[in-house]
Structure 1
Amino acid sequence: MTLPAVTFSDDQAEAHDRVADLLRGAGVDIDEGTTLPAGRGSGVLAVIGKAGSGKTMLLAELTKALAEAGVETVSGDWEGKRSAQRRTLAILAPTNKAASVLRHRGVPA
């Protein structure tokens, strides 16, 4: 079964592009689906918006793109040996309700 492609609103597309740029600086190119050794870039980016504005959908699509680029999703309390080649991601949610909404969208939170 093939799912239809997600269509972002203008605000979602802008947020996606900003996150993609930040990740690219860290060595993960979600547009090309590739990972490189960790870059020297660092930064913090918050995606904010009203309820129902599409933040969770955006996070779900970003998580999928990161997995396709080879980034492994781990739990927030995962403690493994660090490897320069291994790229990992943990999705953290501030409440059980938020985690439930994320999991409903296929995001391992």
Structure 2
Amino acid sequence: KYFFSHIRPQAVLIFPELRSVFIGAGLGFEVYTAEHLVFSPSITPGVYFKGSGKDLGYPIEFRSCLEMTYEWDNCVRIGCQFYHISNASLGRHNPGANALMMIVAFPFLSWK
């Protein structure tokens, strides 16, 4: 496969706490570590609306993510994802937020 065929656009919508939301768009990179195992680091800049949730210190936030999934032949994936959301010290206050999640992913299009 060509290098650019491993780059994936991402749209992210996260509700980390009640009445707060993170909306962003970024890029991920897929590395097949074995025939069906996929390691995917990604970075997603976005906007965080606090609502009554945690104060992350600034409306512009960056989501860095590491993901390991098993991919079936039909491109459906199941796995684990860890991400960190931070304002990269753009604001005076930068507490960040972390999450560990189990994920199931269904493709819009098959790139194989």
TM-score category of the 2 structures, normalised to the smaller one: under 0.3
- What is the TM-score normalised by the length of structure 1? 0.24
TM-score by length of 2: 0.24
Structure number with larger C-alpha Rg: 2
Higher strand share: 2
Q: Which has the higher contact order (CA 8 A, sep 6+)?
A: 1
